[in-house]
Amino acid sequence: MGSKKNIVSTILKRFIYPHHLFQVIKLQRNRKRVARVFDDTQLKLYHQILPGDFLHYGYFDNKDIHPLDISINMIYKAQYRYGEKLVELITDKENQVLDIGCGMGGLLAILNKNNFNAIGLTPDINQAKHITEKYKNQLLQSKFEDIDSEKFLNNFGTVITSESLQYLDIEKSIPLIDKILKQGGKWVACDYFKIDKAGEKSGHNWLYFNEMLTKYGFKISFQEDITPHILPTIAYVHHWATQIGLPVKEFAINKIKTKAPGIYYAVSKALPIIDSKINKNIQTVDPIIFAQNKKYVLMVMERI
């Protein structure tokens, strides 16, 4: 009982004593000064869980596989297959390839294996450190919109956005891609798009994206809707969240309620907010909702 009192006392001191309260406010206010794009701890967690250097949904050749039959190793193989499908679309083997938003370098590894001269780009400090330690490739540590377009003018035979297009400002990025691509160069992309204005915020609107392509002089020369092939990963995550994550959460809360009623009382009013946040996140990995609101497209863009 004494240890529980000490815990509660320590927490309260952080809010009651002026020095500690000042530190709480200072740290909370400063948290937004480190933009997530430069230090994404969520992506770092994904990399620690999955065995490969990939941070995307992957591509299952068997799109009908049940979530209970999927293993972590199968997800890794699906992610590798996703990378292979991107590389299969690259026709220029002579000129440099730019992997925009290269993540932990999984696609760079496949490009290296196929003897492409590939350059990675990421603004994230964790990803940059990992890549420079593991891969030989040149790395640009920057947001894509901030790179020197004059330095890389007409430089790349191929530009790739592999589940990174959703993070880019397309009105800035499409003209920039136009500048850095060589004459006859190609832009290979694989990402999900919203097919209406409702639903979750992530992803560009498909119709708007096509309008921007036309506006800036690009056309889609190849496209494949691969939504059914990425849904197994989403279904797998959804199964774990609903069948394991939620019961474990309820068990933990009931345990606190029974064993530490004081702590439960202190946090009880925040529980509905936490539940709302959890439910919202679970909806983003519901394969039925995803397929209703979004489509995942593998494509090649060229100048008109």
The answer, yes or no, to whether residue 214 has pLDDT greater than 50, is yes
- Both 215 and 258 in a single domain? no
Task: Please give the single-letter amino acid code of residue 49.
Answer: I
For residue 248, is it within any domain?
yes
For residue 41, is it within any domain?
no
pTM: 0.80
- Both 80 and 219 in a single domain? yes
For residue 33, is it within any domain?
no
CATH number at residue 208: 3.40.50.150
127-140 pLDDT, tens digit each: 999 999 999 999 99
The percentage of residues in the chain with a pLDDT greater than 90, rounded to a whole number, is: 66
| Spatial separation of the C-alpha atoms in residues 234 and 106, rounded to whole Å | 20
- Both 93 and 179 in a single domain? yes
Give the pLDDT confidence score for residue 152 in this predicted structure.
97
Mean of the pLDDT values across residues 249-263? 90
- Both 127 and 254 in a single domain? no
Give the pLDDT confidence score for residue 264 in this predicted structure.
86
- Both 101 and 207 in a single domain? yes
- Both 208 and 149 in a single domain? yes
**Residue 80: closest CA among 97, 59, 101:** 59
Contacts 24+ apart (CB under 8 A), 236-244: 236/67, 236/70, 236/75, 237/285, 238/67, 238/282, 238/285, 238/286, 238/287, 239/67, 239/68, 241/281, 241/282, 241/285, 242/282
pLDDT, mean over the chain: 86
Task: Please give the single-letter amino acid code of residue 7.
Answer: I
Give the pLDDT confidence score for residue 15 in this predicted structure.
43
| Spatial separation of the C-alpha atoms in residues 233 and 285, rounded to whole Å | 9
**Which DSSP string do the residues of 64-115 spell out, in sequence order?**
T--GGG--HHHHHHHHHHHHHHHHHT----SSEEEEET-TTSHHHHHHHHTT
- Both 238 and 258 in a single domain? yes
- For residue 176, give its domain range: 67-228+290-303
| Spatial separation of the C-alpha atoms in residues 170 and 13, rounded to whole Å | 48
What the block records as the tokens of 7 is: 């815990």
- Both 87 and 185 in a single domain? yes
Decide: helix, strand or coil at residue 60.
Answer: coil
- Both 218 and 92 in a single domain? yes
Decide: helix, strand or coil at residue 121.
Answer: strand
- Both 194 and 247 in a single domain? no
